[in-house]
Structure 1
Amino acid sequence: MSRRRRRSRLPQGEFEAHIDDMAHDGRGVARVNDKATFIQGGLPGERVRFRYLKTGKRHDEGVVTEVLEAAPDRVAPRCPHYAICGGCSLQHLDPAAQIAAKQAVLLDNLRKLGQVEPGEVWVPLTAEPWGYRRKARLGVKRVPKKGRVLVGFRERGSSKVAELDECHVLHPRVGRILPQLSELIEGFSIRDRLPQIEMAMDDERCVLIFRHLEPFSEADLERLRRFGHEHDIVPYLQPGGPDTVAPLDPPGVDLRYALPSQGLELGFLPGDFTQVNTAINRQMVDRAMQLLAPQPHETALDLFCGVGNFTLPLARHAREVVGVEGDAGLVSRARENARRNGLDNVAFYTANLYEELEPAAWQDRQYDIALLDPPRSGAQPILPLLPRLGVQRILYISCYPGTLARDAGELVRDHGYRLLGAGVMDMFPHTGHVESIALFERG
């Protein structure tokens, strides 16, 4: 007898449901046949028709096919590809309502997962919700049945590349030339061996990194060179891992972004991590300085510091600043950025903050304030170190409310800090991503 588990058949046809709530990823939540059902495209308060996408023991999944009673905040998606493309998940919800929902997600996580309440809830940071993305990774796939190369985000719930003519969340420099990119790649000799394009922009220039699994021909390179000139794009090539990224025509460009209110300009490489939304990043840095309020007599610690996005603004106000980052390349860029901006009161160290720390000079001193900007997995391994280093105030920047809530609970319960306030920032409009900020004080 076969041991393969039989795949349960999906209920066929369309079904009605009342959307009661919104999940953390932006899907509507309904109870159908006494089971939680996550329905893409449904908003709280709506009555909808939907079809099933997946069934499971604990919950089912579906997608709206018709809205029978619409919520007041429902809007028509701007993008004609919205129903298919996985780059966005909330275009059907008014942008003001999107950020309100994200604030609710943050507070719900803090309350339920962290068992903490912020003393204050701050007004969300918002900016223009269209054409904001300056960093993105786009899939590339030649599909003979469609007679073209597809360039764009993946389809929702699939590994397939969505068929796009334009993207309204990418910066227009790239969002409006997807068909031209498709045509360019269709003409390459290695059109089937180019799986990805990575976009990186500073305040003015745009780099596109072409990942290729076989060498380009000379004719390909000349086509790419002409494309760059015509569309004001700087082509880079990536034949292997991230360390193989190099400009098509050396020396390439020196990418930089400004933090005008801080009087700073930071350089970075096309493959470096930087925030995707320049307008929100500038507001975020300014709010971080206002909340953490570094004083001329204080010493600051910036963990997960990257290229110095927060470290250098801290150095403008504090007596001394130490930045720690696990990526040696980013540390090198951070040091160069400090020199570029004439800051000599800042030091950078390379250390993996998720592993047991090797003894280092930065751990042998006391700090007044700390800023944490960890990846999605959060900062839990490093939390016990903060009170030992004497840190009195902590500002935590988070890209995932679940790990922020977990870490907030530990800081409050185990390490003697209070959660003074928290709020969200609309770093990724039209998506379920929640970027947030929280301030802690000891004692």
Structure 2
Amino acid sequence: MARFFKPQKRTTDTKHKEITINRLDHLGAGIGHLNGKSVFVDGLLPTETAVVQLTEDKKNYARAKVIKRLSDSSARIKPHCAIYDQCGGCNLQHLSHQAQVVSKQQALGELMEKFAVIDQVDCIQQPPIISESWHYRRCARFAVRVENNGQLEFGFRKKQSNDIVNVNECPVLAQPLNDLLAPLRELLNSLKGRRFIGHLELTHADNGCVVLIRHLAPFNADDSALIQAFAAKHNVMLFLAPETDELIQSHGDQPYYEIDGLKLMFSPKDFIQVNRDVNIKMVAQAIEWLDVQPQDRVLDLFCGLGNFSLPLAKRAKAVVGVEGIDDMVLRATDNAQVNAQYNATFYQANLEQDVTKLEWAQEQFDKILLDPARAGAAGVMDHVVKLAPNKVVYVSCNPATLARDSQVLLQKGYQLERLGMLDMFPNTGHLESMALFVKVQKKHKK
């Protein structure tokens, strides 16, 4: 009878162990070592010692949870939020904001040095772009659920769980949105159809607050009247989403935000940068680094609704924006018309596929800006190099994919000249960054 090899299942040693943290990773978790293996522990800071229990044990690394902290770092502070130990939104409130910024800069530099094979990153790192660490967040999603006992839960998801932690006030949320939380809870509790509400999305636009209600069944006449009365009383822009791909504006004006003297309209389902102040500084820095001149043609990849494109169009001969989502392309086009930026043209394209034969890809560009999602821009990097722009600014929300994509530019005659950290999400381990690549001019032989 034939016998087949059956690998043994790795078991996790759950005995309590003592560990000392050496540094933070790029997501804010403490890193220590046990038996020569890196162990990631949320909630611990460098120099701190704690008793931990392994929750995951892989071949090359492990994860653990804190059982008891034995010593405290001098950088540790008391978290500002009453539900910090439950909520899954922030993970670095126990570290001073100044120390957070330093840690994120170090993490960015280490990743670029390690994966992009760049020496002396410190020499090119620019001052970080930061904002106030509290009340900076202008948009957030709130989960809603009614328990079997009729109790309403309204708040954020707990850490690594689908359970909801009730939120009455959030210290990182814009204050006008915080002011709506108690009235919203009262409204939800008054609705007969509250069981059919999936979630709420709140946004603080420059012209007021936006409330989007996702509901899984139609509201009856009484509930509809209560919702409309709430919108009128609190002067909010109200949107209803009876289906995932359907959006009905029920009250108020079209939301917008201002950037560089421009007014950008958006839908509450559109992506906008969560931190208004950092976004303003980020766009200004990108313009400065690209050094856009009146004769320049600029390509903006992953352009969204024109956050970078339209400020660039104020300074360039022409700007072409490319985005994968049709609705965002239409919004960007409308925003260009509203702001009289007639030299900005927008196209829809899947930037994860071959774009070589597309109309816009046949044009010549002096400078290129990329602002991809967390997955990065691997699918379009070869074409960026083929277009041979003088300068490339890469705005990233994931330093790991920035480091990966940078290798394409560095191997094809570009030099990394500037690197900066963008603290878009204070009190979290999330860091954004911006990198400037300049094409190295070949020296002509005499």
Report the TM-score when normalising by structure 2.
0.91
- Paired with 2:83 and 2:30, the residues of 1 have a C-alpha distance of 20
- SS state at 1:101 partner: helix
The equivalent of 1:132 in structure 2 is 136
* Farther off after superposition, 62-71 or 265-274: 62-71
Aligned AA for 1:113?
F
Match of 2:291 among 283, 286, 293: 293
Question: Is 2:168 aligned against 1:165?
Answer: yes
**TM-superposed deviation, 1:209:** 1.0
Query: Aligned with 2:196: secondary structure?
Result: coil
Note the C-alpha offset of 1:16.
3.1
1:326 matched residue in structure 2: 324
| Corresponding residue number in structure 2 for 1:255 | 255
Aligned mates of 2:231, 2:347 — CA distance in 1? 37
Residue of structure 1 equivalent to 2:443: none
Which secondary structure does the structure 1 equivalent of 2:165 belong to? Answer: coil
Indicate the residue corresponding to 1:433 in structure 2. 430
- 1:74 is paired with a residue of what secondary structure? coil
**Is contact 1:303–1:324 with CA below 8 Å preserved after alignment?**
yes
Note if 1:235 corresponds to 2:238: yes
1:105 alignment partner in structure 2? 107
Secondary structure of residue in 2 paired with 1:18: strand
Q: 1:349-396 CA deviation, whole Å, 9 max, x = no partner?
A: 111111122733322221110110111111111111123223110000
In structure 1, what is the equivalent of residue 375 of structure 2? 377
The aligned counterpart of 2:64 is 62
Shift of 1:201: 2.5
Aligned to 1:156: 159
Q: After TM superposition, list the pairs within 5 Å mapping 1:72-111 onto structure 2.
A: 72-111=74-113
> Which of 46, 49, 60 is equivalent to 1:47?
49
> Aligned partners of 2:355 and 2:242: how far apart in 1?
34
SS for the counterpart of 2:70 is strand
Instruction: Name the count of aligned residue pairs.
Output: 433
1:120 aligns with 2:124: yes
The percentage of counterpart residues that share the same residue type is: 37
SS in structure 2 of the partner of residue 19 of structure 1: strand
Cα offset, 1:342, TM superposition: 1.5
Is the Cα–Cα contact under 8 Å of residues 167 and 176 in structure 1 kept in the other structure? no
**CA shift digits 1:406-439 (9 cap, x unpaired):** 00112101x2111111011111111111110000
In the alignment, what sits opposite 1:355? 353
* CA shift for structure 1 position 345: 1.6
The letter of the residue matching 2:270 is D
Q: 1:141 to 1:52 in 2, by over 3 A?
A: farther
Structure 2 Cα separation of the partners of residues 93 and 258 of structure 1: 32
1:305 aligned to which of 279, 303, 306: 303
Structure 2 unaligned regions, length at least 5: 1-5, 441-446
How much has 1:235 moved relative to structure 2?
2.3
Specify the SS of the correspondent of 1:384: helix
Tell whether the 8 Å contact from 2:76 to 2:95 is kept in structure 1 after alignment.
Answer: yes
For the residue of structure 2 that corresponds to 1:42, the secondary structure is coil
TM-score using structure 1 length: 0.92
Which residue identity does 1:442 align to in structure 2?
K
Gaps of 5+ in 1: none
Equivalent of 2:184 in 156, 181, 185: 181
Please point out which of 402, 416, 420 is paired with 2:417. Answer: 420
Q: Give the 3 Å change call, closer, same or farther, for CA 7–173 of structure 1 in structure 2.
A: farther
Separation of aligned partners in 1, 2:374 and 2:9: 35
Distance 2:379 2:433 in 1: 20
Cα RMSD (Å): 2.2
Q: 2:176, 2:17 → 1: CA distance?
A: 42
Q: What is the deviation of 1:6? A: 8.1
Listed one character per residue, the Cα deviations across residues 166-219 of structure 1 (whole Å, up to 9, x for unaligned) are: 111121222344344333223322222212111223113111111111111111
